[in-house]
């Protein structure tokens, strides 16, 4: 059996290698607009699969962790970001994942990145059950994008 604490530790390790990491060879396009990252370590496997489109700024995805091929945890996210906001989000995620700090599975509550401001509003903030919204603002409070997110453990009751 796997403990949720082990799944959480694995989440941070795997996510540091994915979209925010420098290992471009670890990722690949499945079909037009779909990118999937897979990371395995022992009995645990994380798959982060997300979609973008050439027709607009939207994106959406799902991150799933499996133990011995059985899903044990997942996160879904979706929204949109304009160009430079994506790098701001990557830096925010690197900050929390690098510190193994869970803030709704996303970046810190607030992070200034040059002229861009990253803000994360977790409604629920427990690895076993979470939800929230992240947003990037530019000068004069211009919105450069946002994502809504939620997820939960599948191995035990979520926290109330």
Asked if residue 159 is part of any domain, the answer here is no
**Distance separating alpha carbons of residues 146 and 160, to the nearest angstrom:** 26
Tell me the pLDDT tens digit for each residue of 33-90. 888 999 999 999 999 999 998 899 999 999 999 999 999 999 999 999 998 899 999 9
Domain that holds residue 57: 4-153
62 domain-assigned: yes
pLDDT of amino acid 24? 47
- Does position 3 have pLDDT exceeding 50, yes or no? yes
Does position 29 have pLDDT exceeding 60, yes or no?
Answer: no
Residue 26 pLDDT exceeds 70: no
In a domain, 9, yes or no: yes
Residue 90 maps to a domain: yes
Is residue 158 included in any domain, yes or no?
no
Question: pTM for the full model?
Answer: 0.90
Bridge partners of residue 112, in order along the sequence: 117
**What is the radius of gyration, based on Cα positions, of the chain?**
15
The whole-number pLDDT of residue 83 equals 80
Is residue 91 exposed (0-12), middle (13-18) or buried (19+ Cβ within 10 Å)? middle
Q: Quick check: is 95 in a domain?
A: yes
Asked if the structure places residue 160 within a domain, the reply is no
126 found inside a domain:
yes
Query: Which two tokens mark 14?
Result: 């795997």
pLDDT in tens, 84-143: 899 999 999 999 999 999 999 999 999 999 999 999 999 999 999 999 999 999 999 999
Q: How many independent structural domains does the chain possess? A: 1
């Amino acid at each position: 059996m796997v403990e949720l604490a082990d799944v959480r530790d694995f989440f941070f390790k795997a996510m540091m290698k994915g979209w925010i990491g420098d290992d471009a060879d670890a990722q690949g396009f499945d079909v037009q607009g779909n990118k999937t990252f897979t990371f395995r370590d022992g009995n645990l496997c994380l798959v982060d699969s997300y979609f973008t489109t050439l027709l607009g700024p939207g994106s959406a995805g799902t991150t799933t962790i499996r133990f011995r091929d059985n899903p044990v945890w997942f996160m879904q996210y979706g929204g949109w970001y304009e160009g430079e906001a994506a790098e701001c989000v990557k830096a925010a995620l690197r900050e929390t994942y690098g510190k193994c700090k869970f803030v709704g599975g996303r970046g810190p509550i607030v992070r200034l990145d040059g002229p861009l401001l990253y803000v994360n509003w977790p409604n629920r903030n427990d690895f076993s059950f979470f939800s929230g919204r992240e947003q990037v603002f530019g000068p004069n409070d211009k919105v450069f994008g946002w994502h809504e997110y939620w997820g939960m453990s599948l191995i035990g009751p979520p926290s109330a």
